[in-house]
Amino acid sequence: MTLSVRIPEELEHRLSIVSKKAKVSNSQIIREALMTHLEDLEDYYDGIKALREFQKSGERAISAHDLYKKLGLE
């Protein structure tokens, strides 16, 4: 897939510097950055979903200290 994106001049300059230092294409840097950011966003939204489900469940949260104690890890 080909995608066209407008970026500010400073971002273009920074991209050029990084790609030259890494000796890879601008496209490769952008692909890697996009993949990393999308993975982070997916994790974030999965975490928000899990938090909301937990809050709706009515379950009580316990501290890490109490959990360790309960598991005999203290």
Q: What is the pLDDT of residues 1-31, one digit of tens each?
A: 999 999 999 999 999 999 999 999 999 999 9
Q: Find where tokens 């996009």 sit.
A: 34
In a domain, 52, yes or no: yes
How far, in Å, are 8, 59, 60 from residue 69 at the CA level? 53, 19, 16
Instruction: Identify the domain containing residue 59 by its residue range.
Output: 31-74
- Cα separation, 59 vs 49, in Å, equals 15
pTM of the model: 0.71
In a domain, 63, yes or no: yes
- Name the nearest CA neighbour of 32 among 43, 42, 19, 20: 19
Looking at residue 14, what is its pLDDT? 97
pLDDT greater than 90 at residue 74 = no
Q: What is the tens place of the pLDDT at every residue in 36-45?
A: 999 999 999 9
Q: Count structural domains, the chain.
A: 1
Which tokens is 1 given? 């897939």
pLDDT band at 70 (very low <50, low <70, confident <90, very high): very high
In a domain, 15, yes or no: no
In a domain, 5, yes or no: no
In a domain, 13, yes or no: no
